[in-house]
Amino acid sequence: MDTLQNMRVFVRVVEAGSFTGAAQHLNTTTAYASRAVSDLEAHLRTRLLNRTTRRIALTEAGERYLQRCEQILAYVDQAEAEASDAHARPSGKLKVHAMTSFGQHYVVPAVGGYQQRYPEVQVELTLAQRVPDLLDEGYDVALVLAQDLPDSGLVSQRLGSAFSIACASPAYLERHGVPQTPTDLARHTCLQLVTPVFPTDEWTFQGPNGQETYKLPTATFQVNVAEAAAVAVREGMGIGLMPIYSAISGLRSGDLVWILPEYKSQEMNVYALYPSRQYLDAKIRTWVEYLRDVLPPTLAEDQTELRQFART
């Protein structure tokens, strides 16, 4: 038995004053309306309406039940309207997860622009060096950097790509010289940025001779956040392999020098992941659309600017 639907029929019968009038309003038959009320009474084991061939009248129990039905149906209508509105109008809380450094450089500014366009959305951004479980942890969208995505059943939108470059401080290079190829790194101190995506014991470069891999010796320093690695490189502690978005401000200021400019490393795709395409909440849909508009040109601008910092 569809109790909720039978409640609607019961309320309509009372409002119309007859089963026939209710049936006409609901575009159904008088027999269906009568059966719906009878099913309710059987389920409740209580008479709700006294019936004669000419009229109907509420029983005392029917009057109390009518009040509750009207309250319940009003809440249901309100819930359905709110849910439908969520599909049409961006509002409410949007829970976003992003990798730490990428989130600081790209996602936080994107949130600012998005909220100017959609001020009724409250964004809760979590930054962490891991890929979350969207369903278990309740995130609406995750921004992930990966070479490829495993088959997870999630919907993905590719937003561009990013890569890492080798950097050192001017003072370090003055003391130890400038490496010209990845094999020259064997004579230098290499600092390790540990991420969930790439192995911690090797650096892989794409350059004039194709792919070259440098096996790292035991690291004197390793860290899991790119900004901390950038500080270590600026302090002259060694050479670091850093995402360009973490290196670019140091390159602009002259605190960092891009070495091996013919080589790039750890090229990754940037993906937005979210649970489903069907009945997509408006805040998720518009957030992903906004990222698709603003992130690719921003990533491309940084990569274009990078060329002026090449040092051979």
Q: Is the pLDDT of residue 119 over 70?
A: yes
Q: Work out the average pLDDT over 188-204.
A: 80
Task: Give the CATH number for residue 50.
Answer: 1.10.10.10
The model's pLDDT over 241-277, given as tens digits with 9 standing for 90+, comes to: 889 888 988 999 999 999 999 988 888 899 999 887 6
pLDDT at 199: 62
Looking at the structure, do residues 181 and 248 belong to the same domain, yes or no?
A: yes
More confident residue, 304 or 89: 304
Looking at the structure, do residues 99 and 111 belong to the same domain, yes or no?
A: yes
Q: For residue 306, what is the enclosing H or E element?
A: helix 282-306
The model's pLDDT over 80-108, given as tens digits with 9 standing for 90+, comes to: 766 655 556 788 899 999 988 899 999 99
Strand partners, 242: 165
How many beta carbons lie within 10 A of that of residue 111, not counting itself? Answer: 20
Q: For residue 98, what is the enclosing H or E element?
A: strand 92-98
The model's pLDDT over 275-290, given as tens digits with 9 standing for 90+, comes to: 876 667 889 989 999 9
Q: Are the C-beta atoms of residues 42 and 33 closer than 8 Å to each other? A: no
Structural domain includes residue 309:
no
pLDDT at 74: 81
Give Cα 229 to chain centroid, integer Å. 26
Looking at the structure, do residues 134 and 73 belong to the same domain, yes or no?
A: no
pLDDT at 130: 81
pLDDT at 19: 87
**Sorting pLDDT into bands at 50, 70 and 90, what band is 203?**
confident
Looking at the structure, do residues 216 and 283 belong to the same domain, yes or no?
A: no
Percent of the chain with pLDDT over 90: 30
Q: Work out the average pLDDT over 294-301.
A: 92
Structural domain includes residue 22:
yes
Q: Are the C-beta atoms of residues 121 and 94 closer than 8 Å to each other? A: yes
Q: Write out the residue range of the structural domain in which residue 150 sits.
A: 92-156+269-303
Looking at the structure, do residues 13 and 100 belong to the same domain, yes or no?
A: no
Q: Is the pLDDT of residue 32 over 70?
A: yes
pLDDT at 131: 80
Looking at the structure, do residues 136 and 276 belong to the same domain, yes or no?
A: yes
Task: Give the CATH number for residue 254.
Answer: 3.40.190.290
For residues 207 and 92, what is the distance between their CA atoms, to the nearest angstrom? 47
pLDDT at 312: 46
Looking at every residue in the chain, the average pLDDT score rounds to 86
More confident residue, 115 or 221: 115
pLDDT at 83: 64
Count of domains forming the chain: 3
For residue 13, count CB atoms less than 10 angstroms from its CB and return exposed for 0-12, middle for 13-18, buried for 19 or more: buried
Backbone φ, ψ for residue 272 (5° rounding)? -100, 125
Kindly report each contact of residues 24-28 with a partner whose C-beta sits within 8 Å and lies 24 or more positions away, as own/partner.
Answer: none
pLDDT at 198: 66
Looking at the structure, do residues 123 and 187 belong to the same domain, yes or no?
A: no
Structural domain includes residue 140:
yes
For residues 259 and 173, what is the distance between their CA atoms, to the nearest angstrom? 9
| SS3 call for 247 | helix
The model's pLDDT over 134-191, given as tens digits with 9 standing for 90+, comes to: 778 889 999 998 887 766 678 888 999 989 999 999 999 999 999 998 889 888 999 9
Q: Work out the average pLDDT over 121-131.
A: 89
